[in-house]
Amino acid sequence: MNRTALFAFAVFVFGSGSVRAGADEGMWLFNNLPLETLKNRFGFEPDAAWSEHLMKSCVRFNVGGSASFVSSDGLVLTNHHVGSDTLFKLSTPERNILENGYLARSNAEELPAPDLELNQLLNIVDVTDRVNAAVKADMAAGAAMLARRETIEAIQKEALDQSGLRSDVVTLYGGGRYHLYQYKKYTDVRLVWAPESATAFMGGDADNFEYPRYCLDACIFRVYENGQPAKIEHFLKWSQAGPAEDELVFVAGNPGRTSRILTVDALKYQRDVRMPFVMNLLRRREICLQQFGLNGPEAKRRARDELFGIQNSRKAYTGMLGGLQNPAIMAAKTAAEARLRAQLKADPKLAALDSAWDEIEAVVAQRPDLLVKTPVVNSRLFEIAEEIVQMLEEDQKPSGQRLPEYGDAGRESLLQQLLSDAPIYADLETALLADSLARLAELRGGNDPMVEAVLAGQSPADRAASAVAGCTLADVAARKALIDGGIAGLSSCKDPMIQIAIAIDPEIRKYRKVADELAERERQAYAKIAEAQFATAGASTYPDATFTLRLAFGTVKAYDENGQRVEPLTDIAGAFNHQDTHPGQDDFQLPRSWNDAKGRIDGATPYNFVTTCDIIGGNSGSPCVNQNLEVVGLIFDGNIQSLTADYVYTDEQSRAVCVHSSAIREALRTIYNASHIAEQLGR
């Protein structure tokens, strides 16, 4: 891989995405699709019904992924690695669903997920004017933040009361626009089918973010209403043959976060401070979870899901940071910013906007301290304790004045998570808490008053062991009793995890306040930068990703790497060959179901493919559809060259990686004896 070549020859689009001819860039809002571009470049003119059908066929997994309805009776298709949180929670030492897969032979065998919430987007309303009207020009950042927060909560609560729909106000263009997103919620979600992790994640950490690939990174859920499979009006059909090379395709999903609007100062902070800091944390957790797994097969099973997520993030961050450390990228970003600022200064109507970059510089200078001081504790029991403590405290205030996550509008979703009966493993909790407490002591020093209060005279390891052993919150009833007891019961609560949360909470709040105020200042500054871009780009644009529904377009397309053409499609025979060429490497061994079916399945069946669609983390599980809105693939990864997409998109080598629709159908039929599911796809 020659990444210098990639960036040396690419033209950088900086900030947000003013579309250049030839570039398949953009994570487009469903209420502002790139219709002109699609018409001009591809001769394709989707109508309103097309986009409404696609929008309503999409499903968001609130744990951090995307999905789609693929049958009239509620089948939901997503990635194995998006479903894995649920697969893990449904697993036991005796029935390791995450590792060995699952197939429901009938509706009765479909397994209810303990705490999934799926969202179907029904409606988008621009509420920018109302949100901005609440903020007066002379307000300090803190007051502006509170006024904005109160208005947003009021809009959400009104919308919820009127419609009964989950109603979220989304900040777009870094603060340039505010849109109200309204979702139908599905909370009775059941597992229908999942393959073995060995095939879903073939090649493991080594192949992750690489291409060619051979992964069946798919699983299928079904949504229920009133105890019956839900009747779904908008669902996607299943393509007969999948996509042809160079065919126009679309990805509809929820990209989590991009930072393409960031100023050079903000990028340098990411490069020199935040990303190295986060990577130290990721490596630390990776080692901690690996060490825990050494205690035996059951310990390894308990740690596996979180370990996978950490390794995935660590590899992604490595690629992202590598991009930012490339002098050519930073030089291009710097030059683009200088050009834009020069353009503003030359135009009296726009010159005032230039101060936004200085404001970002000032905000960024305050971030390193915030990063180090904000307490982070990685333990589910601690999270539960901290949420209960904060909720009981926040509930003393009117909804609009609370921290947003404790407002009335979101209470139902909050409680669903907080009262989940997903298993909590005391041994794993102890290991993770010990590591988190040690890290707190490292970052703040062993003589920091909060650290001393938390440790209560014990070493981090001993304090973690005693706190987990004495904690009652693994029991959902104990959580409920504590919540019902209200603020009065909190002060007399003897639970050591609650006591730790009470010791840490003032510092969490202190730095949360700093963070919120800095974020408000950034919103105001980036709103100006967005305005500058609207004014100078002269074309439609898309905002940075916000884990809300977006449309990306592109083609199924080969690329060059080290002078070699990388074919856009792999096939099933390639998976067996990939196994055979990696003897003695566990991560490359297909499960028994595959090796048993080798003689029966058609090796020429297409397996994985790549497209130029502009995606990022959060898009995992997104449907890839053709112009007729038939599923042709399932997004599950980006190649290594795509990892800089957080900051910059190029379609020279950057590719989104999909499971081919035919591979899913054929695997269900031939490998998993699940024709009854295969027959339902698209019907």
Least distance in angstroms from the C-beta of 443 to its own copies? 8
Q: 271 vs 528, which CB is nearer to its own copies?
A: 271
Q: 157 vs 268, which CB is nearer to its own copies?
A: 268
Least distance in angstroms from the C-beta of 28 to its own copies? 30
Alpha-carbon span 601 to 488, nearest angstrom: 64
Q: 65 vs 460, which CB is nearer to its own copies?
A: 460
Least distance in angstroms from the C-beta of 177 to its own copies? 32
Is the Cβ–Cβ distance between 186 and 48 less than 8 Å? no
Least distance in angstroms from the C-beta of 449 to its own copies? 12
Least distance in angstroms from the C-beta of 490 to its own copies? 26
Q: 126 vs 462, which CB is nearer to its own copies?
A: 462
Least distance in angstroms from the C-beta of 522 to its own copies? 21
List contacts with its own copies (CB under 8 A).
2-4, 204-206, 268, 271-272, 275-276, 279-280, 283-284, 286-287, 291, 294-297, 314, 321-328, 330, 438, 441-443, 445-447, 452, 455, 457-462, 582, 584-585, 587
Q: 439 vs 655, which CB is nearer to its own copies?
A: 439
**Residue 93 neighbours by CB distance under 10 Å:** 9
Q: 398 vs 445, which CB is nearer to its own copies?
A: 445
Angle between helix 496-537 and helix 355-373 axes, rounded to 10 deg: 160
Closest CA to 562 of 637, 648, 653, 498: 653
- At 372, list the tokens: 């180090």
Strands 237-238 and 630-638: parallel
Q: 507 vs 666, which CB is nearer to its own copies?
A: 507
Residue 668 DSSP label: I
Alpha-carbon span 551 to 553, nearest angstrom: 7
Least distance in angstroms from the C-beta of 368 to its own copies? 12
User: With b meaning 16 or more CB within 10 Å and e meaning fewer, what string describes 466-479?
Assistant: ebbeebbbbeeeeb
Alpha-carbon span 340 to 181, nearest angstrom: 32
Alpha-carbon span 471 to 518, nearest angstrom: 35
Least distance in angstroms from the C-beta of 491 to its own copies? 25
Q: 298 vs 531, which CB is nearer to its own copies?
A: 298
Alpha-carbon span 104 to 110, nearest angstrom: 5
Q: 492 vs 564, which CB is nearer to its own copies?
A: 564
Beta strands in 562-655 (DSSP E): 564-566, 569-571, 606-611, 623-625, 630-638
Least distance in angstroms from the C-beta of 616 to its own copies? 20
Write out the DSSP string of 303-338. HHHHHHHHHHHHHHHHHHHHHHT-HHHHHHHHHHHH
Least distance in angstroms from the C-beta of 638 to its own copies? 18
Q: Cα dihedral sign for 231, 233, 235, 239?
A: positive
Least distance in angstroms from the C-beta of 430 to its own copies? 12
Q: 278 vs 573, which CB is nearer to its own copies?
A: 278
- List, in order, residues 6 or more apart from 9 with CB less than 8 Å away: 652
Least distance in angstroms from the C-beta of 220 to its own copies? 30
Listed as own residue / partner, the contacts of 485-490 with beta carbons closer than 8 Å and 24 or more positions apart are 486/392, 486/395, 487/392, 487/393, 487/395, 487/396, 490/388, 490/389, 490/392
Least distance in angstroms from the C-beta of 582 to its own copies? 7
Q: 125 vs 273, which CB is nearer to its own copies?
A: 273
Closest CA to 69 of 80, 53, 81, 83: 53
Least distance in angstroms from the C-beta of 269 to its own copies? 10
- At 83, list the tokens: 């479903």
Closest CA to 607 of 592, 590, 619: 590
Q: 204 vs 489, which CB is nearer to its own copies?
A: 204
Q: 16 vs 311, which CB is nearer to its own copies?
A: 311
Alpha-carbon span 660 to 215, nearest angstrom: 10
Closest CA to 116 of 70, 72, 78, 159: 78
Rounded to 5 degrees, what angle do the CA atoms 191, 219, 607 make? 160
Alpha-carbon span 215 to 663, nearest angstrom: 10
Angle between helix 327-345 and helix 496-537 axes, rounded to 10 deg: 60
Q: 170 vs 273, which CB is nearer to its own copies?
A: 273
Alpha-carbon span 308 to 621, nearest angstrom: 16
